[in-house]
Structure 1
Amino acid sequence: MEWRKERECIFGEQLSPLDQTLRSLRTSGPAIVWTTLFLFVPLLGIVFISFMSRGSYGELQLPLTFDNYSRFFGFGSFGFDPLYPYILLRSVLLAVGSTLLCMICALPLAFFIAGLSPRYKNLALTLVMIPFWTNLLIRTYAWQMLLSAEGLVSKIAQFVGLVGEGMPLYPSLGAVYLGTLCDYLPYLVLPLYASVEKIDWTIVEAAMDLGAGRIQSFRHAVLPQIIPGLAAGIVLVFVPATGQFIVPDLLGGAKTSMLGNSIAQQFGPSRDWPFGSAIAMSGILALMFALIIYNRILAKRGGEGLL
């Protein structure tokens, strides 16, 4: 029997499986090299450093050890201290709260923009993207001015009686939430708007004709259609919000130290790179675990999942 290799016709060319593989490597090769060099190699470096030790002058030392991870989870030389697990938990809770705030603001905003005429729709999308035009640090300093005792937002809060006379709104946890909301809101509005634009309103009309109320129509006819954009936006907000350190540092003060602040402290003034790497890897693993659970929940509710 004569055996022949399977060949596929692409754009009029007869390609063997080897030719197809080589063509795929030529097109995806640069992206693979870029991802390997600037993502996986540094990540492997962080993993390796996290098992090393810190010398007397901050230098990296062998042998490899698990002491950095033990210290992170509270089992240090001076007994049990849950400081860093508490910081991790506080960072996750801050990210969850910030994501919920962004969802509350993004949902009506996305529907409002989608209902505008094409002329004003482009203007509204431009206004949403304006925060991307300035640096995150500059925006955070601007919020410091607005939330200071003499700032506009603090003056309004003093006028309505939310704070006492001459009292600033920062440093506080509320200022951190406000700064995070304004920084990451566009990441949720834009993918959500893209899903709202694709809604098939005939399904909503059919649901209402069958006796469904507004809440039922939104839950069973609208929400399933916008889940892809909503799910993508949640991930785009939750992931960076978990590891942020500029906003908590400048608007929250020492009492709202987050995971990102702890990592920056170890890689900066403390010069303890192994422990900083262990904190970073612990945060990455916790974040991956949370995303896997989120993906499973999303898939069980009828979504396609993200991972």
Structure 2
Amino acid sequence: MTHSATARLFLKLNSQYSALCGLVLLAAAGALSPMIFAQPADWVPGALRLLGGGLLGFAALLYVLAKNRFVSRASVHEIVLLDVLWVIASIVTVAFFGPLLTTTGISLVTIVAMVVAFFAIAQFAGAAKIVKPRPVADVSSRNGDLIATVKREVKAPIETVWEVMTDHPAYADVASNITKVEVLSGEGIGMTRRCHGPKGESWEETCDLFVPGRAFGFRIHTEAEDYPYPLSALSGKWLVKPVKDGSEFSIEITATPKGNALARWVFTMVAKHQFKAVLIDLADAWATRMEREARG
């Protein structure tokens, strides 16, 4: 549990407020110029539209962060800093350039700054509740591939961890993106299994790495005509090793998106948070079962 709900709530509200302000500036820059500035220059409407576009970009960033259950405390603090800088800029504007503004303009700048200050305080307080998840997860891009990894230490002997990891049908009990796993044939190298997704989709996987008690891997048959995801290649490795107080297991997923450079970039941006959330949830659920079984 990351306890990020409060921070994400105010990130979402901040996103909506920023988007509203941005849209107003873009749509009514011409009408707002004489309302805000006592003697607006010809370039002022364009500057207001530019500011509106920047606010929409900021709103999009906030939206992405608000959707991430595992948003970090550092990421929230970065947004708080940007909000504080906005408030400082507003104070400087009113204090030193007040004569250039109308009474309405000063009021608008002040009101907006007060709302932004509220979001900064609320987000900072929400960030204080965020607890770093125990699984260490990372998602990165490398040579066009998406590499997702997660590691988790558990207080369980390596034999128990290995037994749980290789219980293929039970994989569906801990993986949020899988509802059923069927072993079709074999065991070890060459073993095949079929995984089913939450929307009725399914795909086959073949074991291409197997070191008893230590590691196994699967290659997913993305070349199949009915493969449901926009990936040209997908593989995974599951490993376990002993550590001081028990064991550590890890998962590494390598995915190659289909399409042109833009399509691959979009997929990577969208999939990064999803991959990370799925792996963290999986690692925590697995750890719970491993430690429960170790206790007997």
TM, length-normalised to structure 2: 0.26
Q: Which has the higher helix share?
A: 1
Q: Which has the higher strand share?
A: 2
- Which of structures 1 and 2 has the larger relative contact order (alpha carbons within 8 angstroms, sep 6+)? 1
